[in-house]
Each structure stands twice: as structure tokens, then as C-alpha cells.
Structure 1
Amino acid sequence: MTSELEKIDLLRARTGISYKEAQEALGNVNGDVVEALINIEEKNRRLAEKMQIGGQNAMSKLKSLINKGQDTKIRLIKDEQTVMEIPATLGVLGLIGVIFSSELALLGAVGTMSAVANKYTMEIDYPRADDTEDELMENIH
């Protein structure tokens, strides 16, 4: 006859779960190791499926957000002439680079001071008037 501790050790060795989880799994099936293994595998399969679906949803929302960022343009204007126009996503990537790199941060600060001194203005163009802030925030969550 196998002791409860040996059963717990067996479940842990095969599944990588904690002592508490193994004890609960055995308790749910009156100590039947095979039934406990089947239940643990089924639980792990369901969890993996949920994670896969969650990952797919997150990627879909990220793609949607990137596409909206591509439609939104950041323009640098001087004397009513567009000097530069970039997609908002590229602007965000540049900002992230500036934040995490001290050399880029210095360059960004010098560029900003130069733009202000030379009377440049920045304009953000949102082409879809039907997108509200709530809808955009919904896509983030």
C-alpha cells in the first residue's frame, strides 16, 4: 500500500505541482492517483487554451492599436508648411528610445529646444472623427 506522502510525491514528480495542490487533487478523488493525474492534466489543458485565446486577443488588439496609430499623423510645421510628417506609432517608438537612452534623450532635448527657438509647431491629425477616446481605451484593455 502506498502512503499519502508517496502519492503526493508521485503527483509532484509527474506534474510539477505543489504539495498543497497534490494533496487537494488526491482529496478530490479519494486518493486515486490516476484520477488525480487525469484531473490535473485536464486543468492544465484548459489553462493552456485560455492562455492561447488570451494571447490571440491581446495580439489582435495590439494590431488594431498599431493600425490606428499608423492612421494618426504627427506633423512638424513651420510658417504653415509641413516640414515633416510621421505616423504616430513611429513617434511613440522614438519617444520610447529617448526615454531609455541618455544619448537620445540629450538629442531629443536639443531638438525640442531648436524647434521651439525656430518657431516650429506640432500638429496631430486624427483622421477618423468617429473614434472616441473611450473606443481607443477599450482597444487597449
Structure 2
Amino acid sequence: MPKLLSRVLDLVLLSFAAALFGACLTSLVSTGTYGWMVPDAPYVYEPRDFYAQAVLAGLAGMMALMLAERSARLRQSPPGRAVATFAAALLALYLAPPSPQVFGNTWAPGEATRELFLAQLHMVLPIALAVTALRWGLQRVLR
């Protein structure tokens, strides 16, 4: 599989995962139910900011994955590639939540990480596992 196509697919997959987590998190925090809700706080955080942040989170995850795959031992080991993909997905998901100001202005230092990421591991881990499985499947199909 050409390297450029592989990287583009990684970026799309990680960006979509980041957008999925951000939208589900917004819906869960705002309404108490799961769904797709793009945060919209006029003059603070608009939908285009949400999608731009999702792409940047996907880009950060892709760059972490590229750095991890520079190791020849990791590149040749399927479990190593899976762990690197899972870690890259976790990084993209960590960077994915919308600005905490969307949910209010009273965030203490570290509280956003605890409440918007660590408390949501029931959502984060399945999304990261799905990214890992989809990437593995795409690589198998495109080889």
C-alpha cells in the first residue's frame, strides 16, 4: 500500500474518531444522552472550530503514530503496530474534546482532563479499540 494513502487514511480515521468523541461528549454533557451534538457557543466556540480541532487532534495522533512506526521492530510486529495505533488514538481522543468554556467558565486546573477525558473512559476505550481494528482491517484490505 502506498505510504501516502496509508497516512491519509490514518488522518481521516483519527480525525473522525476525534470528532465522534467530541460530539458524543458534548451530547452527554449537554443532554445526558448519547448522540451527535456539535458544540455551538457563539463568539466563543463555533462548529467550524470543533471540526478544525478534530482535524488537528487527528493530525497529532497521526504524527505520534508516524514517530512510533519509525522503529523497525515495531513496524514488523503486528501487536506493536496495534499498540502504537491504540496509543495514537488515545492521544487524538485526549485532544478531541471541545474547549471547556463551551460547558462553562468555572474549570479548575486539571479538572477538564479529569471530567472531559478520564471520566469518559467508557466512551474513549471503545472508540480507540474501534480505530485500532479499523486501521488493521484497512491495512489488510489494501495490501
RCO comparison, higher one (Cα < 8 Å, 6+)? 2
TM-score by length of 2: 0.29
TM-score by length of 1: 0.29
Structure having the higher helix fraction is 2
Structure having the higher strand fraction is 1
